[in-house]
Amino acid sequence: MAYTNFYNGNQMPTIGLGVFRVENDDTAKEAVKHAIVSGYRSIDAAYIYGNESKVGEGIAEGIKDANIKREDLFITSKLWIDDYGQENVSDAYHKSLNLLGLDYLDLYLMHWPGTNETLLLETWASLESLYNQGLVKNIGVSNFNIKHLEMLLNHAQIKPVINQVEFHPNLIQTELRTYLKEQNIKMESWSPLMNGEILSNPVIKNIAQEINKSPAQVIIRWNIDHDVITIPKSITPSRIEENLNVYDFKLTHDQIEQIDALNQDKRIGPDPAEFNG
């Protein structure tokens, strides 16, 4: 497993398991457990996904079956917009902890910026308080564009360590990636495989054939080669294993450029400038 360093000296695995749209039943538990046993050390959860209790069971069983410690894992959750505001953040954080069966999170994110600047800043200040109290190891944001980040950085006492955003070959976010690099904030991609849609793209398939890897492995490696942390989702044991098996090769400069050229500035999720839950 490879790791990426945050500006605060902490680090995060470059690949994790995403659990968005996974049912809150044994499907989630078994996927998480299998991922941990297979070598994953990062699990990306969120309160709004509605499956934190079963994800937590998978974490507990994975720790036991892999014979590792909780400290060996990096667990992320996210604060939903309905829980923004100074009076809500601590309760929401502890609610996720209880569902996950954990004593702390490695990373807690504001899930979306929302459209209320005052509420955004007030909420971030409450995340800073969690961090300053030692209740969470790292704090960050999700789905923030440059305007949101500039607003936040003008007022924040603590800079986010990461911005988790939509990033895939149809949305390569060049300007945002450059900005984040300048600010020493890591970028993380959600839905890197575009819900599987990008895997049938002829360019991706051709590169996969050239290097004898799967299309999914090509995309995940492309993320890593762009210094983007990524959390591909799968509930299929063989694909969970396959998605992690990307550290024995690199894409060539030409292959990376071919994939970059697929950019259409096309989103599969909401526009962060307009979304408010």
Enzyme catalytic residues: 49
Instruction: Encode 10-40 in three state secondary structure.
Output: CEEECECEECCCCCCCHHHHHHHHHHHHHCC
Helix (H) or strand (E) holding 130: helix 117-132
Give the type of residue at 112.
Answer: W
Using CA of residue 109, residue 114, residue 117, residue 123, what is the dihedral sign? Answer: negative
d(CA 41, CA 29): 15
**CA-CA distances (angstroms) from residue 181 to 56, 125, 149, 178, 214?**
33, 23, 13, 5, 29
17, burial (CB in 10 Å: exposed 0-12, middle 13-18, buried 19+): buried
d(CA 11, CA 8): 9
d(CA 113, CA 15): 24
Tell me whether residue 111 is annotated as binding.
yes
d(CA 52, CA 43): 11
For the annotated binding site, the residues are: 111
For the annotated binding site for substrate, the residues are: 111
